[in-house]
Amino acid sequence: MPTPVAEYHAVDRARFEAEIVPAGRPAVLRGLIDSWQLLAAARAGQLGEWLKTNASLELGQVWLGPPAIAGGFGFTDDLSGYNHERRMATVMQIVDLILSQREDDAPWAIYAGALPVDRHLPGFRASHPMPLLAIDREMLVSLWLGNRARTAVHWDLPQNLACVVAGRRRFTLFPIEQVGNLYVGPLDRTLAGQPASLVDLAAPDLARFPRFDAALDAAETTELGPGDALYLPSLWWHGVESRDDFGAMVNFWWRDGPAAVQVSPLQSLLHALTTTSGLPAAERARWQVLFAHYVFDDKDVAAHLPAGARGILGERS
């Protein structure tokens, strides 16, 4: 069964950079955003009013799931489509949709994810700084809104600080090594850009997905409340359950490394799959050696070449 995610209190940037990030493991940061005005509005029961007052009229995508899915957004059973609808709406309209379902015994599930705050909440970044990240760091800051809903287990390429503003959120996390036990869906037809598990965390079908039991043994879990944040390193699988009838979260996403490598390596994986599929086993094994040597070996494989003759093996700016 899952173990609790490690928890920290009163973390400053120095400790975050020296201890938490280098460990490469998820970390719960209790009370990290207690000073935010958006959090104060939520605690005062004025989250909807604050969002409506400060939001733009920019349209963003919202997912709408009928009561039958019980908040579990995903594919249809045959993987040919989604079990929900997708529409465009403003933040004001999304808030009204969520509030309209609060008293319903069988509510529609509502989920609006990754709404860029620069477009949807102008000025948010200036008034809600992230104390653990340098203000000039290149990052994507996103707003998430919804009611009781679940997202499928998936990974994200950037590092993430997920900050809960309203409602409780339960995270279930898996190291990347559990990929073989998560029964991942199509790589080139996804729910939201990243490959996702087909297993429903709320009711895993172990007869259909028996290895998922092993994944749970390697998992970590935590529940965040308003004011808490979760540090999630790159490529950690995670499923998220919003446990209340009005939830809000803000994510800070960033990547380390030079700008030249900011394109997702998932594209390389997809290309490798198409070019190596069907090769004889012996040839595939030889290509595995080449990939290990040129792509994943940390030593300087071009040290024997003059700097001007290294080509793609040289430093890239």
* pLDDT, greater one: 119 or 256: 119
Q: 143, 115 in Cβ contact below 8 A? A: yes
pLDDT at position 317, please? Answer: 52
Q: 242, 169 in Cβ contact below 8 A? A: yes
- Nearest of 126, 147, 18 to residue 71 by alpha carbon: 147
Please compute the mean of the pLDDT values over residues 241-252 and round it to a whole number: 97
Please compute the mean of the pLDDT values over residues 44-55 and round it to a whole number: 96
Whether pLDDT at 260 is above 60: no
Q: 154, 192 in Cβ contact below 8 A? A: yes
Q: 187, 195 in Cβ contact below 8 A? A: yes
pLDDT at position 262, please? Answer: 63
Percent of the chain at pLDDT exceeding 70: 98
Please give the distance of CA 64 from its chain centroid, rounded to a whole number: 19
Token pair listed for 162: 């997920």
CA distances from 112 to 34, 86, 94, 242, 315 (A): 23, 10, 8, 12, 40
Token pair listed for 30: 């209790």
Whether pLDDT at 103 is above 80: yes
Please give the distance of CA 198 from its chain centroid, rounded to a whole number: 16
**Lookup result for tokens 């898996």:** 174
Whether pLDDT at 263 is above 80: no
Task: Please give the biggest Cα pair distance in the chain.
Answer: 71
Tell how strand 85-89 and strand 140-146 pair up.
unpaired
Whether pLDDT at 118 is above 90: yes
The per-type count for the chain, helices as H runs and strands as E runs, is 10, 14
pLDDT at position 12, please? Answer: 96
Instruction: Please tell me whether residue 195 adopts helix, strand or coil conformation.
Output: coil
Q: 73, 242 in Cβ contact below 8 A? A: no
Please compute the mean of the pLDDT values over residues 271-285 and round it to a whole number: 91
Please compute the mean of the pLDDT values over residues 288-315 and round it to a whole number: 85
**H or E segment and range at residue 273:** helix 266-276
pLDDT at position 239, please? Answer: 97
Ordered structural domains, the chain, with CATH: 3-259 (2.60.120.650), 261-313 (no CATH)
CA distances from 275 to 54, 261, 285, 289 (A): 49, 21, 14, 16
The Cβ of residue 297 has, within 10 Å, a number of other Cβ atoms equal to 10
**Lookup result for tokens 């040290």:** 303
Question: How far, in Å, CA of 51 to CA of 47, rounded?
Answer: 6
pLDDT averaged over every residue in the chain = 93
Please compute the mean of the pLDDT values over residues 211-238 and round it to a whole number: 98
Q: 61, 34 in Cβ contact below 8 A? A: no
Please compute the mean of the pLDDT values over residues 312-316 and round it to a whole number: 76
